[in-house]
Amino acid sequence: MCQNGWMHRRNFLASAASFVAFQNNSTARAQSAAAAVSGRSAEAVAQDEDFWFNVRHAFTIDRNIINLNNGGVSPAPKVVMDTEIRYLEMENMTPTYYMWRILDPGIETARRRLAQVFGCDPEEIAITRNASEALEIVQFGLDLKRGDEVVTTNQDYPRMLSTWQQREKRDGIVLKQITFQVPPPSLDYLAKRIEEAITPRTKVIHICQMTFRIGQIFPVRQICQMGRDRGIEVIVDGAHAFAQFPFKQADLDCDYFGTSLHKWLLAPIGTGMLYVKKSKIPQIWPMMGADDSLRHDIRKFEQIGTHPASQRNAITEAINFHESIGVERKAERFRYLRRRWANRLRDLPRVRILNNDDPRQSCAIGFVNVEGMDAVKLNAYLWSKHRIWTTAVVTPGEYEGLRITPNVYTTLEEIDTFADVMEKVIKAGSISG
Ligand SMILES: Cc1ncc(COP(=O)(O)O)c(C=O)c1O
């Protein structure tokens, strides 16, 4: 008994010590966890709870909430938060000196590292505050005239659609939003839906690499090629794709790509990135006026007045953390978690899982529709009774349901609790209590 007590205490002290180590140096922990599984396939590591245990302890999140809405915005690991806070304290000491002279040059390192992740020249990367800013730079920055047409989908991000609608009112352009079936019958079908909307007046195609509603991945390369063949600019909204699953700029062959970094890269809240192919930089107006000497310089998109350097400098640490896990392992883990709950629910009555399981079409974002059940009420019930935090998505006249987005710190117990509660509600046929 006494010996057992001592053992427990010793184990407790050992785990408490390693917990402190996780907190203080979570990138090193993630790296040593990665070293321990080196040589094993990402599919095998996806199911290795010892590996994900190390990753999980890099975060200081509220463990009493089952957070299945990481798609909105994600918490950063503690090492990234600490880095940001250190830079913030530093820049506040004498901002004109520490922020402008000491920290601002560090942004060039973040630019270089982001370019490595995306596989492009650093001179093609602008750091923005989020995906909205990145995409709107291109949406507002392209010269378009009255009658010019923009083709997009009704499942693109609402703010990006409002941006085009503002140009409709202001400049007389025409926005065409195509609809598409979910899950789509094939990737070719998606490309075809876009192609059918093209007319001689089409000047821009605006698509999501992964939609925010059900997480459908689009055939971006095919659509970029289609646009290039016809002299149409293609804007890729990569808010959900970047750092969620592996790909490079060359895989997309895109000219414009905007993303958040505070979603799947786990960078500080308030960071985003815009890629513009070098030859296209001069033709895009910056959203805020920039000196004409910067016409060919990607930094013209960063001329936004005084802003903190602390968040942007901490992007580099987020990239270190991301690479310590490895994007292939992240993607396989996300698919494993999605399949774990979806496979339990998919054969129950009135359930439709709206994701195509083909890895070219889905990854972390899962979507469940329960026919006849109000998604907003179901979402509220999961939260109020079970502290499960999801997102209700309603696409009027088409479908509704819950969007489920876990993260690298999500436990199997959390996924199983969600599946248990959903199973009960679905079998009961109504939301009770
Ligand atoms: C597809 C898509 N595009 C753009 C955005 C805007 O991202 P942000 O809020 O980082 O500007 C989001 C946000 O959820 C999104 O899902």
Atom in ligand 1 nearest the alpha carbon of residue 210: 1
What is the rounded distance in angstroms from the CA atom of residue 129 to the CA atom of residue 38? 35
Pocket residue to mutate for ligand 1, from 73, 128, 157, most atoms within 8 A of Cβ: 157
Residue pair 249/221 in contact by the 8 Å Cβ criterion: no
Residue pair 262/270 in contact by the 8 Å Cβ criterion: yes
What spacing in Å lies between the alpha carbon of 420 and ligand 1's midpoint? 30
Sequence-ordered list of residues with C-beta below 8 angstroms from that of 233, at least 6 positions apart, any chain: 142, 203, 204, 205, 227, 255, 256
Give me the pLDDT at residue 36, please. 82
Which residues lie with the beta carbon below 6 Å from any ligand 1 atom?
A: 130-132, 157, 159-160, 208, 212, 237, 239-240, 260, 272
Average pLDDT, the chain: 93
Copy the structure tokens of residue 344.
């339990």
What spacing in Å lies between the alpha carbon of 427 and ligand 1's midpoint? 34
Average pLDDT over residues 346-355: 97
What spacing in Å lies between the alpha carbon of 268 and ligand 1's midpoint? 15
The three-point CA angle 117-70-404 to 5° equals 115
Atom in ligand 1 nearest the alpha carbon of residue 72: 14
Average pLDDT over residues 375-379: 97
Using CA positions, which residue lies closest to atom 7 of ligand 1? Answer: 131
Pocket residue to mutate for ligand 1, from 74, 260, 363, most atoms within 8 A of Cβ: 260
Atom in ligand 1 nearest the alpha carbon of residue 263: 10
Give me the pLDDT at residue 23, please. 53
| Helix (H), strand (E) at residue 379 | helix 375-386
12-26, 31-45, 263-277: which is most confident: 263-277
What spacing in Å lies between the alpha carbon of 156 and ligand 1's midpoint? 10
Query: Does the pLDDT of residue 331 top 90, yes or no?
Result: yes
What is the rounded distance in angstroms from the CA atom of residue 83 to the CA atom of residue 100? 18
* SS3 sequence of 318-377: HHHHHHHHCHHHHHHHHHHHHHHHHHHHCCCCCEEECCCCCCCCCCCCEEEEECCCCHHH
Query: Does the pLDDT of residue 8 top 60, yes or no?
Result: no
pLDDT digits (tens, 9 = 90+) for 411-420: 999 999 999 9
Place 145 in a pLDDT band, splitting at 50, 70 and 90.
very high
What spacing in Å lies between the alpha carbon of 239 and ligand 1's midpoint? 5
pLDDT digits (tens, 9 = 90+) for 89-144: 999 999 999 999 999 999 999 999 999 999 999 999 999 999 999 999 999 999 99
Q: DSSP code of 97? A: H
Give me the pLDDT at residue 38, please. 84
Query: Does the pLDDT of residue 3 top 60, yes or no?
Result: no
Place 433 in a pLDDT band, splitting at 50, 70 and 90.
low
What is the rounded distance in angstroms from the CA atom of residue 113 to the CA atom of residue 347? 44
